[in-house]
Structure 1
Amino acid sequence: MKTQIKTNLSRRNFLKTSVLASGGMLIGFNFLQACKPEAKMPVDIASLNFNDFNAFIKISDEGYVTIYSPNPEIGQGVKTSMPMIIAEELDVEWNKVNVAQGALDTKNFTRQVAGGSQSIRQGWDALRQTGATAKQMLINAAAVKWNVDASTCTASKGTITNANGETLSYGDVVKEAAVLEVPENATLKETTEYTIIGKDAVNVDIDKIITGKPLFGLDYKAENMLIASVLRPPSFGQKLESFDDSKAKEVSGVVNVLKFGDKVAVLANSTWAAMKGKKAITAKWSDNKPESTENHNKILTDILDGKKFNTRREDGDVNKAFSEADKVIERTYHSPFLPHNCLEPMNFYANVTADKVHLVGPIQTPQWTVNRVAQLLERKVEEIHCEMTRMGGGFGRRLYGDFALEAAEISSLASTPIKVVFSREDDMTAGTYRPAIKYRIKAALKDGKVTGYHLKEAAINGNMYGLIPNFFPAGCIPNYKVDTGNYKSNITTGAWRAPYTNFLAFAEQSFFNELASELGKDHTDLVLELLQNVKGTTDKRIEYSGQRMEDTIKLVKEKANWGKKEEGVYQGFAAYYSHNTHVAEVAEVVLKDGYPVVQKVTAAVDCGIVVNPTGAVNQVQGGVIDGIGHAMYGDFSFKDGKPEFQNFDKYRLIRMQETPQVDVHFVQNDKSPTGLGEPGLPPAGGAVANAIHNALGQRLYSQPFVNQLKKSNVLG
């Protein structure tokens, strides 16, 4: 039986956008396809004569359509997958759809954000409704032309057919459809009818990416634009006291040097001249509060040893559980600060004039950034126009928009269009880092079971928030407590891919592996045993599904041939829920000259319906490799508030020859899609650590793993 939905859309809101009453994401993508069935997509559709159908699409006289995708594209694939959802319900052929990046439009769209792996999850219902409603409007328009009942007409591949076999293309009726009333009901497809969703689709930007066509922020150019390179305080917390720019002004190509706040901007007609001019400036900086990695480590330990914590969740009586336990196990895990190191350094264009503010660049939070620019410049939000480029990585760094504010302020002071461009050194030393963290986990074992669990977090500037205490193992252990404490630092910290969980998953799953060994149980069996306690729970605080996690674990055990590998291959397991998705991973490590080498990772994922399998696999593979690389090698330290790593000559990333084979398998179900850009990362570190333990007999308690392995002479 077909699923009918109430459209809940006025004509005005359908042709614009609206938030669903159910709380889903904006309608926002009124993607209508008007392709002639026999036509082929022209090489350059920009040369065609387009007419506006509404605020979101343009349709050519020949029947082609450009869809303006409003969400920022950060490499997570939403610019491809979101239009696929619309095209599916609209019943058009995917190879006749063209997609373009839309600008920030707060009137017609909401949640134009790339963050939290939420775009598809929050847009799923609304996007389907939009496509289905649009198709029904086109059918209704054709029925009017034929003077027949719309219920006797069907649509497929951009063509409407009546009971007599007569046909009209969407292009034949799109103008009539645009003036009709929005229908009260629309019929959604059943999953068995999908022809686009669940089929591999190539990234819509792939041709431009591989041929180097302008697409990213660094590619953007405008008339009379100058490049701005910014001298910032070398240590966090320092203030600018004075500077000498005489040498900078002698550099060929330098046009202007100006101070703003505690920074100095060098404006030039080329990136090279701007950066060379910046290096020629001599500046005097105030003393700052000396912050170093060594001090931070001590501070975090002192927090864990202290008593000032915020209790995020408390079930039962953990103290009683510990006092009655047969054995108590307590371990402490540590991770360093980490930069984001996007392949494309931070950059942003701004042109501030008396009439308007024009912003262009790679940004994950365009609306928030525009609001902050308006406040900074004391301008009305309506005067600011923001366009989004594709981003060469973000991982949370481009959430904050500090580089966009710099561009706007410099342009305002200089009265000229400028583009701020970070060097790699700027990017690494003036970042918003993943906070340094220590976790202390304590468990009570009684009669072969885990009866108590106490997690303490100490973080620089705080890390955990309300949901994490309600992830696994919440609800699985009767006496359960989560406490958090933090230290305020001048060093800027923030979201880093899979915030809050990127390190916690390693600590937790390493700890459970140790608990399993102590109890004489297989790691997977212990987790599956605990999950039985939360299946069917009525505790509405619990975020994860015991059943879905169990299904995911069973799938990865099957696909990885868990526990049955040939001699010399050491397996490690980890499972984690984050960003509404359940992931289980098995890492395989072999020893080469005594060194542990990760040769393969098998991942099982329950993210509901997979919209674009190719993109989904790529997201999981990228997350796994990113997680392994940073767990194994990622290290970042400070001395007197100054980063000790400034480029890749010292900062260690995973190398191509170190990347393992990653096999990805999806749990098949008909549940609505959830996040994929981040959930593959958190379990990777734990799976590798547990595999290394099985290979070497050594427990890993701190990241990066190579540091601990070197101290124990494993790596020499």
Structure 2
Amino acid sequence: MSILPKTNRRDFIKLAATAGGGLLLGFHWSSAAPASAGVISHVSDLPAGTIDFNSYLSIAPDGVITILSPNPELGQNIKTSFPMIVAEELDADWTKVKVIQAALDTKKFERQVTGGSGAIPHSWERLRKAGATARQMLVEAAAKRWNIPATSLTTDKGYVLDSGNGRKLTYGELATEASAIPVPADVKLKSIKDFKLIGTAIRNVDNQEMITGKPLYGLDFYREGMLFAMIQRPQSFGTKIKSVDAAAAKAMPGIVDVVTFKNNVAIVGKSTWQVNKARKALKVEYEADGAIESTADHDRILKTLLDSKETTIKRKDGDVDAAFKSAAKVITREYQCPFLSHTPMEPMNFFAHVRADGAELIGPTQTPEMARNETAKLLGLAPEQVTVELTRLGGGFGRRLKADYVLEAAELSSIIKAPVKVIWTREDDMTGGSYRPAVRYRFDAALDAQGNLIGYKLRGVGINAGNTTREDNFPSGAVDNLLIETIEHKSPVTTGAWRAPITNFLAFAEQAFLDEVASASGQDPVAFRLNLLNKAKQSPVGAIKYDIDRMKGVIELAAEKSQWGKKKNIAQGFSVYFSHRSYVAQVAEVAMKKGTPVLQKIHAAADCGVVVNLSGANQQVRGGIVDGLGHAFYSNLTFKDGAAEQKNFNTYRLIRMKEIPEIDVHFVKNEISPTGLGEPALPPTGGAVANALFKATGKRLYNQPFIKQEELKGVNLGERM
């Protein structure tokens, strides 16, 4: 099953931009897009005389505007988008804007977190007010200097303009006077139709630094005199240290100490290479400390739990039992997904310097406040005694929501009484958790004699997955009789949020199942979903917690742009999903070539409210699709005797550049406040592709990774698979 026909070098550059997440955010570096803002690495680099207007921005006498971006940047483009919002309301000249990554400061900022696609929705109005407040103060300062009403003045690209008298002043010229103006209690925000910067394509502010290799990431951080450490952790979940023989490791060049703490053995030395070599000389023996599970155990547990009587009901509408008893046709299907590793390109790392009077933390984290608070608790410090400085994150996908690797560095520094940077290898990253949970679903649909959906059941079971469902998502509210349940198995295998938690697989299972139900009812898959949405709008059943019109809007846009049902010799598959407050519909297109299905194109329609940065938004959708496609097809993490069997990319398969299809992205234009985009494009991808493959081959896919499924056996997959 091919993924993509061969491409030329120019296409490869485009795909590199698509798949690279935060590395290449624009296809054409010489395009006419507005110039990228500059970057100042630290507040101490600000020009003399710089005036702070609020927590987010300051203006220097030379007119340079510095905007702080408080949230962690891991490739979602927040370090560019946040300043764009401030600059828009400020009416700044983007070419004179400098961007600084702010350190953790809970007094100045709120929600300094990257996760849940919630940064822009949370900060949208706050950032706009920050820019608008400074703009009003500058206008009032100019009005005072010229002795004219402020209402007669306008602003544009860093100037206050008095058009009636043909004069203007730069923001830099007014900064000192404006800073003395009382901060207005209420400011008027721009009308969205008047935006000049928001909605355009702006290059990532770190582009130049990234492509020239300037230190930006946690792994780049270095301080004279710091030590390096690697940690030997249990390779099998459910085991603990029995004995440690560190004599050989301690005798190796550059090794300062070998420290055992909790269930870890840390090798501390003068360089990464030296500690890595010494760790291989360690002799650590482990013993059982609870259940030790293999993938065969997980498969058995999940199948058994699907029939368990002990379940948690998440939603129940109508009389489900009666609906299924009266049904003319019942469809039952099961779907299962494996554990997955987050595998960010930058493995976990963090610097810590614990002193008697406090602790300094520097590195890549999605949750700096959690890192601070948990470190303070660990060390017996007050939170204000712990500082956290953020580097750019080389990926995260939810892995860096946890603070375990930060606490390792902090605890080790407190033990050795020295500044230390703890570095994980790729093998550490893939064998030490935390993983996407393994989950299994059973769907049941009841149809009446006319093909109407009269009953719907979903039971999800997961391993350390919490709630395996999203009980209020579509088609809830559109079916008269509905039952959604969840069951969890507690396991020593550590799990955590993985990009678009739960919905990353649930969406595939649900959308693949709905296609089968549509087929059984004799309806077109797109029409089937639209009919359900119309029913939910006209006769809602229970709570409706998604926006019916917004979901219909992306369905109709995707169908229009893909020419749904109108192309010859092309098998199209449809999927739509609501997650993280946004809506994305996708159409995948597969053509048969020499008996082999080839995925040629994916059309995507997204409604995320106002698009802040068109370039960043485009890449978020493309990146989500590539991520969803690659993991649906290839990635698989299995366990034997409690140990992860896949330890590096030679055995843990990721998608390759040549396997990425053409991707066509469209956004619904509206004036709804932004509703998140880091995750919503991933969930629909698996379903759209699986449904297209069925259209092309007649074979349904029920489990991931697709490449391992019996339905694909005998198909000439070709080198691209």
Give me the whole-angstrom Cα distance separating, in 1, the residues matched to 2:701 and 2:607: 28
Partner residue, 2:551: 549
Give me the whole-angstrom Cα distance separating, in 2, the residues matched to 1:194 and 1:455: 44
Partner residue, 1:506: 508
Task: Give how far 1:223 is off.
Answer: 1.8
Partner residue, 1:3: none
Contact 1:233 1:263 in 2 (8 A): yes
Deviations 1:676-716 (A, max 9, x none): 11100000000011111111111111000111147743358
Partner residue, 2:25: none
Task: Give how far 1:79 is off.
Answer: 0.6
Higher relative contact order (CA 8 A, sep 6+): 2
Partner residue, 2:204: 203
1:121-520 mapped onto 2 (5 Å cutoff) = 121-162=121-162, 163-288=164-289, 289-446=291-448, 447-464=450-467, 468-520=470-522
Contact 1:706 1:715 in 2 (8 A): no
Give me the whole-angstrom Cα distance separating, in 2, the residues matched to 1:626 and 1:430: 22
Partner residue, 2:103: 103
Contact 2:508 2:687 in 1 (8 A): yes
Please tell me the residue identity of whatever aligns with 1:85: I
Distance of aligned partners of 1:221 and 1:50 in 2 relative to their CA distance in 1, 3 Å threshold: farther
1:28-107 mapped onto 2 (5 Å cutoff) = 46=45, 48-49=47-48, 51-53=50-52, 55-107=55-107
Please tell me the residue identity of whatever aligns with 1:672: S
Task: Give how far 1:86 is off.
Answer: 1.0
Contact 1:56 1:68 in 2 (8 A): yes
Give me the whole-angstrom Cα distance separating, in 2, the residues matched to 1:50 and 1:209: 30
Give me the whole-angstrom Cα distance separating, in 2, the residues matched to 1:598 and 1:174: 56
Contact 2:267 2:275 in 1 (8 A): yes
Deviations 1:296-354 (A, max 9, x none): 11111111111111111111011111001001111110000000000000100000011
Contact 2:368 2:388 in 1 (8 A): yes
Please tell me the residue identity of whatever aligns with 1:643: A
Give me the whole-angstrom Cα distance separating, in 1, the residues matched to 2:370 and 2:640: 33
Distance of aligned partners of 1:591 and 1:314 in 2 relative to their CA distance in 1, 3 Å threshold: same
Give me the whole-angstrom Cα distance separating, in 1, the residues matched to 2:130 and 2:178: 14
Distance of aligned partners of 1:347 and 1:595 in 2 relative to their CA distance in 1, 3 Å threshold: farther
Give me the whole-angstrom Cα distance separating, in 1, the residues matched to 2:686 and 2:108: 41
Give me the whole-angstrom Cα distance separating, in 1, the residues matched to 2:466 and 2:676: 20
Task: Give how far 1:535 is off.
Answer: 2.4
Gaps of 5+ in 1: 1-38
Partner residue, 1:14: none
Give me the whole-angstrom Cα distance separating, in 2, the residues matched to 1:79 and 1:42: 12
Task: Give how far 1:148 is off.
Answer: 2.0
Deviations 1:255-275 (A, max 9, x none): 211111110000111111111
Please tell me the residue identity of whatever aligns with 2:212: T
Distance of aligned partners of 1:303 and 1:366 in 2 relative to their CA distance in 1, 3 Å threshold: same
Partner residue, 1:559: 561
Partner residue, 2:119: 119
Contact 1:637 1:644 in 2 (8 A): yes
Task: Give how far 1:164 is off.
Answer: 2.6
Deviations 1:83-132 (A, max 9, x none): 11111111111111111100000111110000000111111122112211
Give the root-mean-square deviation of aligned CA atoms.
Answer: 1.9
Give me the whole-angstrom Cα distance separating, in 1, the residues matched to 2:38 and 2:222: 27
Distance of aligned partners of 1:141 and 1:442 in 2 relative to their CA distance in 1, 3 Å threshold: same
Residues 1:665 and 2:666 are matched in the alignment: yes
Contact 1:40 1:96 in 2 (8 A): no
Contact 2:477 2:543 in 1 (8 A): no
Contact 1:535 1:545 in 2 (8 A): no
Give me the whole-angstrom Cα distance separating, in 1, the residues matched to 2:468 and 2:581: 15
Distance of aligned partners of 1:126 and 1:541 in 2 relative to their CA distance in 1, 3 Å threshold: farther
Task: Give how far 1:464 is off.
Answer: 2.5
Give me the whole-angstrom Cα distance separating, in 2, the residues matched to 1:584 and 1:318: 29
| The 10-residue stretch of structure 1 (189-198 or 327-336) with the greater mean CA deviation from structure 2 | 189-198
Please tell me the residue identity of whatever aligns with 1:688: V
Deviations 1:601-639 (A, max 9, x none): 000011111111111010000000100100011111011
Contact 1:435 1:463 in 2 (8 A): no
Distance of aligned partners of 1:43 and 1:630 in 2 relative to their CA distance in 1, 3 Å threshold: closer
Contact 2:365 2:400 in 1 (8 A): yes
| The 10-residue stretch of structure 1 (152-161 or 513-522) with the greater mean CA deviation from structure 2 | 152-161
1:646-665 mapped onto 2 (5 Å cutoff) = 646-665=647-666
Partner residue, 2:608: 607
Contact 1:50 1:58 in 2 (8 A): no
Please tell me the residue identity of whatever aligns with 2:553: D
Taking structure 2 as the reference length, the TM-score comes to: 0.91
Give me the whole-angstrom Cα distance separating, in 2, the residues matched to 1:381 and 1:118: 24
Give me the whole-angstrom Cα distance separating, in 1, the residues matched to 2:412 and 2:594: 55
Distance of aligned partners of 1:412 and 1:41 in 2 relative to their CA distance in 1, 3 Å threshold: closer
Give me the whole-angstrom Cα distance separating, in 1, the residues matched to 2:148 and 2:239: 75
Distance of aligned partners of 1:461 and 1:552 in 2 relative to their CA distance in 1, 3 Å threshold: same
Give me the whole-angstrom Cα distance separating, in 2, the residues matched to 1:471 and 1:520: 24
Instruction: Give the secondary-structure state (helix, strand or coil) at the position aligned to 2:239.
Output: coil
Distance of aligned partners of 1:536 and 1:91 in 2 relative to their CA distance in 1, 3 Å threshold: farther
Contact 1:623 1:677 in 2 (8 A): yes
Give me the whole-angstrom Cα distance separating, in 1, the residues matched to 2:359 and 2:547: 47
Partner residue, 1:577: 578
| The 10-residue stretch of structure 1 (598-607 or 138-147) with the greater mean CA deviation from structure 2 | 138-147
Task: Give how far 1:188 is off.
Answer: 1.7
Partner residue, 2:23: none
Please tell me the residue identity of whatever aligns with 2:457: H
Task: Give how far 1:65 is off.
Answer: 2.5
Task: Give how far 1:250 is off.
Answer: 2.4
Task: Give how far 1:392 is off.
Answer: 0.7
Distance of aligned partners of 1:292 and 1:595 in 2 relative to their CA distance in 1, 3 Å threshold: farther
Gaps of 5+ in 2: 1-34
Task: Give how far 1:191 is off.
Answer: 2.0
Distance of aligned partners of 1:411 and 1:540 in 2 relative to their CA distance in 1, 3 Å threshold: farther
Give me the whole-angstrom Cα distance separating, in 2, the residues matched to 1:509 and 1:494: 24
Query: Percentage identity across aligned positions?
Result: 50
Give me the whole-angstrom Cα distance separating, in 2, the residues matched to 1:403 and 1:603: 36
Give me the whole-angstrom Cα distance separating, in 1, the residues matched to 2:518 and 2:84: 44
Instruction: Give the secondary-structure state (helix, strand or coil) at the position aligned to 2:606.
Output: strand
Contact 1:709 1:715 in 2 (8 A): no
Give me the whole-angstrom Cα distance separating, in 1, the residues matched to 2:641 and 2:49: 59
Task: Give how far 1:675 is off.
Answer: 0.9
| The 10-residue stretch of structure 1 (285-294 or 682-691) with the greater mean CA deviation from structure 2 | 285-294
Taking structure 1 as the reference length, the TM-score comes to: 0.92
Task: Give how far 1:543 is off.
Answer: 2.3
Contact 1:573 1:584 in 2 (8 A): yes
